[in-house]
A = this chain, B = another copy of it.
Amino acid sequence: MARKQAADLMLRLDNQICFAIYSTAHAFNRVYKPLLDRLGLTYPQYLVMLVLWERDDVPVKDIGERLFLDSGTLTPLLKRLEAADLIKRTRSTEDERQVLIALTSQGQALREKARSVPQSILAASACSIGELSAMKNEIVALRDRLNAVLGE
């Protein structure tokens, strides 16, 4: 009977860390929205740009591994970024299966406008960098354990 009650408790929405994560992801998205609107980006597009601002001329696969996204998500997203003149998609000559993603000059330039975004997010989170960093590390560790289970 005690075991049954424990199972009931665990089914409560507010006791589930997955819902905490889920709802916080959406809250972040809503905070980002007005900031990214000014850049003409959606949040997933912003993530792709973050990857490219770190390193350019990478195959779609690499971006996908970095962001945990597959081609079904990335292909149309990248086409929209290309239509916005932020990136260029080129079939690799080395390996014609790969499509290399490079920033255009506009894509490079957008980085300057994006520099203030993290500050705004930090302010909205009303949290010190140290606290956020500690939380981030815990969450990433959790994510990696979940992904490890999936790889089995």
Contacts and interface: CB of A to CB of B under 8 A. Distances in A.
Given A7-B118, A7-B119, A47-B13, A149 B31 contact: yes
Interface string A117-152: 111011011110000110110111011011111100
Interface stretch (A16-24, A79-87, A88-96, A98-106): A16-24
Interface string A1-43: 0001001101111011111111111111011100000000001
A142 B121 CA distance: 12
B27 A146 contact: yes
A143 B20 contact: yes
B145 A127 contact: yes
A39 to B, nearest CB: 12
A60 interface: no
A11 B121 contact: no
A17 B135 contact: yes
B132 A135 contact: no
A142 B146 CA distance: 22
Contact of A53 (B11, B23, B31): B11
A10 B119 contact: yes
